[in-house]
Structure 1
Amino acid sequence: MSKGGTAVLNEQGAARTKRGYFGPYGGRFVPEGIAVLLEELEKAFDEAVADPTFRKELDEVLVEFVGRPSPVTECRNLSRACGGGRLFLKREDLNHTGAHKINNALGQGLLAKRMGKKRLIAETGAGMHGTASATAAALLGMECVVYMGAVDVARQAPNVGRMRALGATVVPVSFGQATLKEAVDGALAAWMEDPEAFYLLGSAVGPSPYPEIVRFFQSVIGSEARTQMLQREGRLPDEVVACVGGGSNAIGIFSGFLADPQVAITGVEPAGKGLHLGLGAHAATLVAGSPGVVHGFNTYVLADDAGEPAPVYSIAPGLDYPGVGPEHAYLKDTGRVQYVAVTDEEAITAFGRLCREEGIIPAIESSHALAYALKRLPSMEKEQILLVNLSGRGDKDLDTLLPLLGL
């Protein structure tokens, strides 16, 4: 099945060839000091997920605090306007804090508490993971420091305000492109200086065991969506779609359908200003990148001529990362998931249409998945179902998008 050997499904349904790897992707390419912390984390995670008490506490907080299960909504107006298939949305925008990020933040927060940690370190791009981390810290009585690119601090001011209101310290990172990659760099450096803290990584990236941990806590999206479609429609969707930056919301919903070969799965990356413009104009890692190492793991990377992570761009701050989760790299190689890219312009148009035709304001990240869906629906049969993971709400993006929409 993979370039790295015969893959098997682990307890959480993730295909991997050996611990920490999905085919040849993943691994732990880090300094010894970080390797020791990761080994400690892996042991604590394994013990926690095997403990019924931990899983009960997690399930309770997801229901009583987050508001799970998030609903599935049929978009009848857009479906009718597009012709062809039926469009459904998995409404992660309706979670407490407004995105899928809270699922993982609370899960890792509970794990940190179990490990006796008192301080959380996190990175954020769009600010939703930072907000979720600050929320988890407040609920669990912990300190929280969030590293955020200075560019994103400026363009995601509402979320910066929310993080500060929740008691977190926001540290702007101003080197490099001052976006998500640099925020991860800053958070990793801070963790190395304070190994007693807990690094709450927000996406399905990074050295092992983080991709597995994030997948586990986000898999609630896919398991819910699968049950909801069977209960509502008596069958599974024909295609499942999600936007892909690092890949946490996507692997969360994909996990519920990977074992169903009749369900097509599509990940949508940011083509930004256009793939034809080359490096620095987009962040379509799987569509335009090649295998390499970034932030301590092997995956597809957008790299320059020297093999270093290249500048990337997207109007969506949660998607402008030069790498991608290793399981997505594996799923691309095996062909189980197709990965495509849509431009800023297409995502902005989709954002406006969902607002005005369905009364739902989506995050600009989620609007990338929606843009693909609006192009795909007309080619589908009338009763075919396309399910999009609406990963977050878009109030954070209004200052950026309203002028572009002429409003």
Structure 2
Amino acid sequence: MNAKTATVLIVLILAGVAVYILWPRDCSFSARKRSLGIDLEVGLDKVKSVKGKIGISDDQVRDFDTFMKDLALKYDMACTDHKNKRMNDAEYSCRRKNMDDMLDKLQLFLTKLNAAVSLPDPSVQKEVILRALSDLEEVEKKGYASGCTSAMNVSPRTLAFNDHVSEHSVQISNSGNNQIIFSVADVPRGFVPQPSSGNIVVGQTVSVAVFRTSEPITNIPPLTFRLVNNFMDEVPVEIQFDQENTSLYDDLATKVQSLSSQQNRPPTVGDALKIVDESLPKSGAWMSIKNADSMRYFLAAGVLSRAGSASEAHQALDTATAKNPELEKQPATLILRGVVLNREGKPDEALQHFSKANTLVVGSKTEKDTRAITSLLSGAVAQKQGQADASVWLGKKEVQDAAKNNPKVVDFAATEVKVKNLNQAIQKASAQAATPH
């Protein structure tokens, strides 16, 4: 090899090294899963194919599908944020490591699943696969920011709704170097946040108040919601409640009726506000939140509806949404308005509001609970009107499950819609759904 040839080779080698170092690597999820040989769609199909023999529930299959989509989305978001300098090297490296560890566990799970699929009897691998699936679920609960520096601090992490308390607050502080945009996600049925989203500048602390709504609380513990931000921080907050709090609106409605009867007149919005104020903390973070007064009227509307005062409930709800138009984007508001409209003799409008409430929760973890209550209320309205499609609503799986697992949901619908024999109608719808046509 002469000197000229050697020089050319050295230049080419150095150029190759420079390209390797300087050329931006593909940090996308699709590139990473290709390198590991992971096919998510095939993996989901295989989970479905063996779920009955291994004992994987439908909810676990849905959660697995959601988990894979969520991992892919967050992987790509972290990649994009890092490329665009919205996430520093240290935080990205930490999050990327956590997500790569999750991918390794996912690959292990799919390997075990492949082994089970190839067996004549997949159930022999049941314990191994369920343990691997449990490992995935445990890692997911910790979040991909686990062990990484977080800019969002949340306190407290547990809210206890006891006795007749109708509100508790959490404080969110920004200890990072950038403004964060937060949102409240997956709030369980029976609760509504205010505000549901917002901006927090560096060094600032804001409050988010969580209020009890008039719908029955879902009875599948633990109840949690998530505080998330644009840097993919995710902080879970647990909700605890006692038996007395589950009957909060019944008790407040009784107090309103007692107050008005002492003066020999129907309940008024003013009466409801007085009773609601007694259930709210006399001081505290909730009083400083934006549109705090609107929530007094929102709670009053729920109390008046439960007390049977439809026109006053309508008035209170109109005042609440006029003061805070964002409330119209909450499923709880649409459900309450639907109940009130039905009380006022407008069943078709009520059904429209129940349907709209469903559209707001599509794809969320609260979709099932919301659909259960709106389908039940829709069926109750149709049942009261003597419509044949009542059994279609009441025969839905989510309604049947809710009626079986939480009888208070049926009591709520029967009381608010003022329909008799709702339990019998639900049982009849179940029998019809089970009968092949």
TM over 0.5: no
Q: Which has the higher helix share?
A: 2
Greater length-normalized contact order (CA 8 Å, ≥ 6 residues apart): 1
Q: Which has the higher strand share?
A: 1
